[in-house]
Amino acid sequence: MSGPLTTRRAVLHAGAIAATLTGAAWGAGSLYTGTRAVSGADGASRPVRIGYLPISDAAPLLVAHANGYYEDAGVAVARPVLFRSWSSLSEAFVAGKVEAIHMLMPMALYMRYELQADVRITAWNHTNGSSLTVHPEITDLAGLAGRTVAIPAWWSIHNVVVQKMLRAEGLTPVMRESPSTSARTVALVPMAPSDMLPALNNGVIGGYVVADPFNAAAEAKHVGTIHRFLGDVWRDHACCVTMLRGELLRDRPEQAAGFMDALVRAQAWARTNRPETAAVLASGYLPQPKPVIQRALTYTAAAHADALHHPDWHGESLDFRPYPYPSFTQELVRAMQDTVVDAPAGFLTGLDPATAHRELVDDALVTRSIARAGGWGAFGMHGTTRTEEIQA
């Protein structure tokens, strides 16, 4: 199939735009280096520095700041700084310009094993919260044959899950070639989330898979339709995780513990106060309007029946369940080993899933914080084990 949706030149141009935004975001991130407070010799009084992307996934970090939970926990925290791309956020984190972030979990594995960065996952930041949004003319997944789909990063749960979906439909994901309708191939291209909606509207891509509120925005503007929620494919999957730099955990343990208490408290509040959470996010933290953010936080199964194959999973609902389950890490490592990427992947060769969880995830603080915030039931959880459910 030819036409504007499959114009190779347009796709390459979109990639160039994404690269440009990455540079701009790094510039914005560098402003953060000037926000240091006067600190003692051990650095214990230095504010914790947070970086985030303008998506609803960042809600716990931002709610904790807006509601004063960090102060309540006795932790000095600088105002969170917004980055425009995952690459700029990860670069700032690895370089020590920020010390606490929400990050795509596959990217966290890449940081630890490919970059050998001194970072740890200390909690899940949220579950679900992402969708595959398609051009209005596409009515089924097969309609993506010969089209291009944007993903936020090669190492993202979005790329992992959308490839499972495509293969289940008999479609083949490709990277460095034009997609073909006859060969039933779908081209995948990384793109900054803020570029996805205009690219869909202009016919550059046939769909995108990303976090909200970009899916809600496409519906509100009648630019695209939500084809399937990713939580309906991988039940209660972790998309973004909370990551802390190792030096914060080692050298400032009281700050790290208080930070986690505040974050978990914010998750408990956000999951039961969704309209209020939308108001917080719209009060200067996210650039999207409040109605779009609230729409993303209050999807209903009834209103999106076509996007749900398993309505009892409630995959439409962004949720906050902070415990980092070992079963998920292990299944994710196996899934990443089967995922096509145009990025370094050698770190996955021979990586044992159970070892990866032990080395990357530190659940000591979050386990204590969950108990302080009301226990497992306050988050719809039932303990430290679960069975992964995946049905593409």
Query: Which residues are within 8 A (CB) of 49 and not within 5 positions of it... i.e. 6 or more apart?
Result: 32, 35, 77, 78, 81, 97, 98, 99, 100
Contact by Cβ (8 Å): 310, 368: no
> 6 by DSSP, 3-state: which?
helix
pLDDT at residue 360, as a whole number? 98
Reading the block at residue 109, the tokens are 């594995």
Residues with pLDDT less than 70, the chain: 1-44
Same domain as 242, residue 174: no
Note whether residue 209 is domain-resident. Answer: yes
pLDDT at residue 27, as a whole number? 29
Query: Which residue range is the domain that position 350 belongs to?
Result: 48-127+237-390
Q: CATH number, domain at 60?
A: 3.40.190.10
Same domain as 227, residue 286: no
pLDDT at residue 40, as a whole number? 39
Query: Which residues are within 8 A (CB) of 272 and not within 5 positions of it... i.e. 6 or more apart?
Result: none
Query: Which residues are within 8 A (CB) of 294 and not within 5 positions of it... i.e. 6 or more apart?
Result: 274, 275, 278, 279
User: Residue 372: enclosing H or E segment and its boundaries?
Assistant: helix 364-372
> 143 by DSSP, 3-state: which?
helix
Same domain as 351, residue 273: yes
CA 84 to each of CA 55, 124, 196, 240, 266: distance values in angstroms, whole numbers, following the listed order: 10, 21, 13, 16, 23
pLDDT at residue 31, as a whole number? 28
Query: What is the CA angle 270-276-282, rounded to 5?
Result: 105
The pTM for the full model equals 0.89
Same domain as 119, residue 151: no
Same domain as 277, residue 147: no
pLDDT at residue 43, as a whole number? 56
Which residues pair with residue 361 across a beta bridge?
121
Query: Which residues are within 8 A (CB) of 287 and not within 5 positions of it... i.e. 6 or more apart?
Result: 54
pLDDT at residue 313, as a whole number? 97
Same domain as 244, residue 108: yes
Note whether residue 11 is domain-resident. Answer: no
Query: What is the CA angle 216-65-366, rounded to 5?
Result: 90
DSSP state of 30: H
What is the number of domains present in the chain? 2
Residue 38, burial from CB neighbour count under 10 angstroms (0-12, 13-18, 19+): exposed
pLDDT at residue 7, as a whole number? 38
